[in-house]
Amino acid sequence: MFETVLVANRGEIAVRVIRTLRALGVRSVAVFSDADADARHVREADTAVRIGPAPAAESYLSVPRLLEAAELTGAQAVHPGYGFLAENADFARACAEAGLVFIGPPADAISLMGDKIRAKETVRAAGVPVVPGSTGSGLTDAELADAAREIGMPVLLKPSAGGGGKGMRLVRDTAVLADEIAAARREARASFGDDTLLVERWIDRPRHIEIQVLADGHGNVVHLGERECSLQRRHQKIIEEAPSVLLDESTRASMGEAAVQAARSCGYRGAGTVEFIVPGGDPSSYYFMEMNTRLQVEHPVTELVTGLDLVEWQLRVASGEKLAFAQADIALTGHAIEARLCAEDPARGFLPSGGTVLRLREPSGSGVRTDSGLSEGTEVGSLYDPMLSKVIAYGPDRATALRKLRAALAETVTLGVQTNAGFLRRLLAHPAVVAGELDTGLVEREVEGLVPGEVPVEVYEAAAAVRLDALKPSGDGVGDGWTDPFSVPSGWRLGGTPTPPAFDLRVTGLEPVSHVLRGTHTVTTDQVSVSLDGVRHTFHRAADWLGRDGDAWHVRDHDPVAASLTGAGASGVDSLTAPMPGTVTVVKVAVGDEVTAGQSLLVVEAMKMEHVISAPHAGTVAELDVAPGTTVAMDQVLAVIEPHEEVTE
């Protein structure tokens, strides 16, 4: 076993790897950018090395700086976590050339399976069924369009060089093929540095099921059962579980053997995942999609049902050990479900969010595990992936695991940064999810019913109670503890009926409201309770944030006078503001340009997600305050569009 291992990643996966290194008695080395100087993974490692400024290209993706950090600290091996450099064959080769063990598969296996086109050809030759689609690499836009028409709509455009849903586009209409191909190439280039695309037949209402494999350097390959990953949004997994309710023992064994053959076909070593797309009505007709040559985000559910620590076995295999078990020794016991907690705002179309974690409460206890990179004070910016943590629940059966995970998400508090915890809790209570009737389109079809349409009145009541409490005087100076009764915000009026105090409040992204306090309340440093119509509601609180059952609201004071003087729409001018913190990547107009309603003007990118800013109406670009590369804050003014004057007869 190694003495020292450098963890070439950040956030929750770095913390996760460090935990196993500590358990094995192996010294851990963390790396960090300037933005992560006080991050949790830095504090928990035995040693930490600064590797550059905040942009990933100058720090976490800088191979020379990572190798220098390894040499400086005497590391013998490098664990890449997942994402970033975990599936980068050049990084694996660079580690070997530097005398370091790359804790992952051979570089040739990464290269082969990282190219989706070559991967499909290789596993097909090994007898593994694949999804019908285009053949050959380097197809032009016209060739991709021709292949799509030949396959027949709908089709799925996919980057050949990457995964995680980045750059994937479902196209149902040939009329938009050209635009979708261009957008997919742009996202693929930004995410993977390679805009090569392939096109595959789209299978309606498919299930996404993957098989965990583990291979050593002595010819032994086993599978550890499957994970159901069908609950996705924008082609990205949000809920994963093991085992799948869809598979019987025969199909599980058949898919497992196909995954083993796929691993053998590329000379695999270490932990990897073979992903299949499965028609929900016919699970025996499964198709290979891709192989992820790394540890998966969702690996904890496999760990819980098998009792194996996958990071430990990555380390043991990389150090030359044989697997200590055969296929017959693997058994799946109980059920585990994982929810990915992301920095995004479901109420605003799941736009990326950011901010400082003001209050943190992460669930634990019997059958509950949280893998997290968060701590109070953590700054969540727009430079890195939006996933913050994972909450995993285990039980003897699926119903128990679901119940525990819903309860755990209700306990989760991340005030200061908007997350999807409440949305995930409601998703897990959806009748189709409870029944196990899943497919990759379920979330998109049901999303409106899973996002509350309005803010509950008790949220405004709690926010007003906090403001009223802040107005209460602690004493007025005429004797110790004496309070001037005229300074108490009680609504008392000379010779009249007391008027309940009213407060102008605004939840981020919504119209302001004037709320009149009408219930009783109790306010403490970190909680506020209000009673309305005989029902008591309790919220976590921090600064202007309130949280309950996984949901959170940023409620700020609203000054209607100031808003009328400076708000958008004044003097017939409309301001376009940033819907999320991020970076402007595309500017398509200049001051003085005439624009039409709905015309794409700018693109803002945050956490690897693009958001198009369009003209709200026809008009003239009166102001343009940004350029490509400009970093913007949420609600920052980007441009001002002066509407055309209406012509009257």
Whole-number average pLDDT of the chain: 91
Least confident of 408-422, 546-560, 566-580, 582-596: 566-580
Our CA angle for 188, 191, 193, nearest 5°, is: 75
d(CA 108, CA 92): 9
Say whether domain 207-333 belongs to CATH 3.30.470.20: yes
Residue 478 pLDDT: 53
| CATH superfamily assigned to domain 340-446 | ATP-grasp fold, B domain (3.30.470.20)
255 burial via Cβ count (<10 Å: 0-12, 13-18, 19+): buried
- Contact between 5 and 79 under an 8 Å Cβ cutoff? The reply is yes
d(CA 78, CA 65): 13
Residue 570 pLDDT: 38
Identify which has the larger pLDDT, 264 or 162.
Answer: 264
Mean pLDDT of 342-353: 91
What lies within 8 Å, CB to CB, of 390 at 6+ separation is 12, 297, 298, 300, 338, 339, 340, 341, 370, 371, 372
Mean pLDDT of 444-449: 94
Task: Tell whether the model's pLDDT for residue 634 goes beyond 80.
Answer: no
For 132-201, CATH number out of 3.20.10.10, 3.40.50.1580, 3.30.1490.20, 1.10.8.10 equals: 3.30.1490.20
Span(s) in the chain for CATH 2.40.50.100: 568-643
Mean pLDDT of 37-57: 95
- Give the E-state strand segments of 168-269 in sequence order: 169-171, 197-201, 206-215, 221-233, 236-242
Span(s) in the chain for CATH 3.30.470.20: 207-333, 340-446
Task: Tell whether the model's pLDDT for residue 572 goes beyond 50.
Answer: no
Task: Tell whether the model's pLDDT for residue 273 goes beyond 60.
Answer: yes
DSSP secondary structure string for all residues of 224-238: EEEEEEEEEETTEEE
Task: Tell whether the model's pLDDT for residue 496 goes beyond 70.
Answer: no
Task: Tell whether the model's pLDDT for residue 646 goes beyond 70.
Answer: no
d(CA 325, CA 137): 39
Residue 235 pLDDT: 84
Identify which has the larger pLDDT, 486 or 261.
Answer: 261
Which CATH architecture describes the domain 458-558? 2-Layer Sandwich (3.30)
Residue 204 pLDDT: 80
Q: Percentage of residues in the chain with pLDDT exceeding 70?
A: 93
Q: Tens of pLDDT along 498-517?
A: 778 899 999 987 889 999 99
- Dihedral, CA atoms, 576, 580, 585, 588, nearest 10 degrees? -20
Task: Tell whether the model's pLDDT for residue 475 goes beyond 60.
Answer: no
Residue 216 pLDDT: 98
Task: Tell whether the model's pLDDT for residue 486 goes beyond 80.
Answer: no
Task: Tell whether the model's pLDDT for residue 301 goes beyond 90.
Answer: yes
Q: Which residue carries 């209409």 as its tokens?
A: 173
Q: Please, which pLDDT band fits residue 164 given cuts at 50, 70 and 90?
A: low
Task: Give me the phi and psi of 362, to 5 degrees please.
Answer: -115, 135
Domain 4-103, CATH class in plain words? alpha beta
Mean pLDDT of 45-51: 98
Span(s) in the chain for CATH 3.30.1490.20: 132-201
Say whether domain 568-643 belongs to CATH 3.30.110.30: no
Least confident of 251-255, 482-486, 504-508: 482-486
Instruction: Verify cis geometry, omega within 30 degrees of 0, for the bond prior to 300.
Output: no
Return the CA Rg of the chain: 27
The two tokens of residue 208 are: 């996404």
Q: Tens of pLDDT along 530-554?
A: 999 999 999 999 999 999 999 999 9
Task: Tell whether the model's pLDDT for residue 117 goes beyond 90.
Answer: no
d(CA 105, CA 262): 14
Q: Tens of pLDDT along 99-111?
A: 999 999 999 999 9
Q: How far is CA 633 from the centre of its chain?
A: 19
Least confident of 164-173, 247-256, 394-403, 450-459: 164-173
Residue 573 pLDDT: 47
